[in-house]
Amino acid sequence: MLKAVLALAALFPAAWTAKRGQAPEALPEAEADSLEARAFSAENSAPDVYLTRAQLDTFGAARARALNYRRPHSVRWGELFDGILVLREERPPQYVREPVPWQLLRQ
């Protein structure tokens, strides 16, 4: 049975608080030599890039926030993940209504 282990990272990340109604907390842009920055070359204007394990291996040990957005880690990402989806820009959620328990919606 094949299993894939994937991660997510962002060049311009956005973080949000756990409590609804609080303003999103902006995180700094990924470092210039980070995996996120290197995934987007000058010619690449795509909104996202998927890096395979083989591509991750070519980067060697690189700093990225695939494990923790608040603190980058420098590891060999190909040893941890089968692939990483790197987003150019991430946005916090935009809520369209107050949360309602599912059971109340069925009444």
**Between 2 and 21, the higher pLDDT residue:** 21
What is the model's pLDDT at position 70?
79
What is the model's pLDDT at position 51?
92
Separation between Cα atoms, residue 97 and residue 107, nearest integer Å: 18
Do strands 73-76 and 83-89 pair parallel, antiparallel, or not at all (unpaired)? unpaired
Separation between Cα atoms, residue 68 and residue 74, nearest integer Å: 11
Q: In total, how many domains does the chain have?
A: 1
| 101 assigned to some structural domain | no
Measured in whole angstroms, how far is the alpha carbon of residue 77 from the centre of its chain?
14
Which residue shows structure tokens 């990924």? 30
What is the model's pLDDT at position 2?
47
What is the model's pLDDT at position 67?
86
**Residues in the chain, overall count:** 107
The parent domain of residue 83 ranges over 6-16+24-93
* CA-based max dimension of the chain: 55
Structure tokens given for 59:
């980067």
Separation between Cα atoms, residue 9 and residue 36, nearest integer Å: 7
* Percentage of the chain lying above the pLDDT 90 cut: 24
Q: What is the pTM of this model?
A: 0.73
| 73 assigned to some structural domain | yes
Separation between Cα atoms, residue 53 and residue 57, nearest integer Å: 6
| 1 assigned to some structural domain | no
Using the predicted structure, report yes or no on whether residue 77 has a pLDDT greater than 70: yes
Give pLDDT tens digits for 25-72: 777 888 889 998 898 876 777 888 899 999 999 999 999 988 887 789
**Between 2 and 90, the higher pLDDT residue:** 90
